[in-house]
Amino acid sequence: MQIFAWHRVVPDFDRMVRRVIPGLLTSTETFERQLAWLRENYEVVSLDEALEALAGGRRGERDLCVLTFDDGYLDFAEHAAPVLRRLGLPALVYVTSGVADSGLPLLHDRLYHLLRLALRRRIEAREGEVEPRVELALRRTLALRDPIVGLEWILKTQPRRVALQVAKWLERRLGERPEAALADSRLLGWEDLRGLDRELFSVGAHTVDHACLPNESPAEVERQLVESKREIEAQLGREVAHFAYPNGWYSPSVVRAVEKAGYRSATTTEDLPNHVGISPYRLRRRCVWEYASRGLWGFSLAVHACNFDGTLRSLGLSPWVSGERPDGLGDARPPQDSPAGETQTALSRA
């Protein structure tokens, strides 16, 4: 059983790829061809049906696959849902409860936007302007001279509190508004989520603010898991049973916290198939985007099939990366400097 993960589906890929995190994007045209191929080669089911099969309670003629979408971008409703509806394919959207209707972009989009500007304008961090940990993160991120590498480093190593301080410092220095990145990265609001066809689309949680949980304190991990489930259930009036680890990162104590918070499953971004008996709290997913199906001259069935069917991985040409992180990385200090309403986090894994 294979779970696939997209982030964004956009009609103007060539314009957007120069403005937002490239690895999150798939063009509507390629997305349609990806789904047509999946419908031909797999039985596309909901995650609940797939979990039943993994527990040995269901058999299928063909291999099963599940379609998921991360982060709750508005382009899911505008560009992905119409294609899914036309093909009659179920899908699960993982959303962050603290972002919908907040008027702010996800922190990863905000940071990516700011890092691109900062590198273009060659700004440097000045000594002692911010607390030492934020200054170190800032210097290191800027020194990497690549917005994606810088973003990945800060998300992988820093608690959200520090990543947010880096964003605020960059906004002060660049004269940018916190909502600037929203123009190209609009998010589903609660009204949009309530409007999604319940028969076909289900909604899962992705923390309150896309926090990379292994980097957070145990108290913050619990808050992110419990509050997001409660808020989404309150807003949508339906149970939220499924969770996705932001950036695909988890640790043994985070996995236990997800189960304790009452979720029935949690997905990583470890690029392997799922088999009977696998823990429902460490489900594997293949993240796909435009270039998972693009050859030299646009869509390539050969490239697509190799990536979607895991041929490259079985040949050892695209090794899977574990999302497991050690326990105890968590930030000792509680996130006291994040006033209410300022609830954003980030991602760069694609």
| Nearest-approach distance from CB 347 to Zn ion, in angstroms | 4
Whichever of 169 and 249 has its CB closer to Zn ion, that residue is 249
Per-residue string for binding with Zn ion, 224-263, x by CB under 5 A? ----------------------x-----------------
Distances (CA, A) of 287 to 10, 65, 137, 209, 272: 16, 13, 27, 20, 10
Query: 32, 49, 70, 75: which one contacts Zn ion (CB under 5 A)?
Result: 70
User: Which amino acid, one-letter code, is at 77?
Assistant: A
Alpha carbons within 13 angstroms on the beta-carbon side of residue 25 total 19
* DSSP code string of 176-194: --TTGGGGGS-B--HHHHH
Q: Which is nearer to Zn ion, 109 or 135 (CB)?
A: 109
Residues forming beta bridges with residue 60, ordered by sequence position: none
Measured from the CB of residue 210, what is the shortest distance to Zn ion in angstroms?
5
Q: Which residues contact 157 (CB under 8 A, 6 or more apart)?
A: 137, 215
Nearer to Zn ion, 258 or 347 (CB): 347
Q: Which lies closer to Zn ion via its Cβ, residue 134 or residue 163?
A: 163
Is 211 one of the binding residues for Zn ion (CB under 5 A)? no
Collapsing DSSP to helix, strand or coil, 25 comes out as strand
Binding-site size for Zn ion (CB under 5 A) equals 4
Binding track over 159-188 against Zn ion, x by CB under 5 A: ------------------------------
**Shortest reach from residue 87's CB to Zn ion, in Å:** 24
Distance between CA atoms of residues 317 and 28, nearest Å: 27
Gap between the Cα atoms of 228 and 231, Å rounded: 5
Binding window for Zn ion (CB under 5 A); candidates: 150-158, 226-234, 291-299, 342-350: 342-350
Closer CB to Zn ion, residue 71 or residue 227? 71
Q: Residues 24, 26, 66, 71: which binds Zn ion (CB under 5 A)?
A: 71
Which residue, judged by CB position, is nearest to Zn ion in the bound state? 70
Q: List beta partners, residue 3.
A: 66
The single residue listed with the structure tokens 């890929």 is: 13
How far from chain centre, in Å, is Cα 71?
Answer: 5
Q: How far apart are CA 137 and CA 72, in angstroms?
A: 28
Question: Residue 348 Cβ, how far from Zn ion at the closest point, in Å?
Answer: 10
> What's the rounded Cα separation, in Å, for the pair 128 and 120?
23
Among 151, 261, 347, 350, binds Zn ion (CB under 5 A): 347
Give the three-state DSSP class for 160.
Answer: helix
Q: Site residues (CB under 5 A) for Zn ion?
A: 70-71, 246, 347
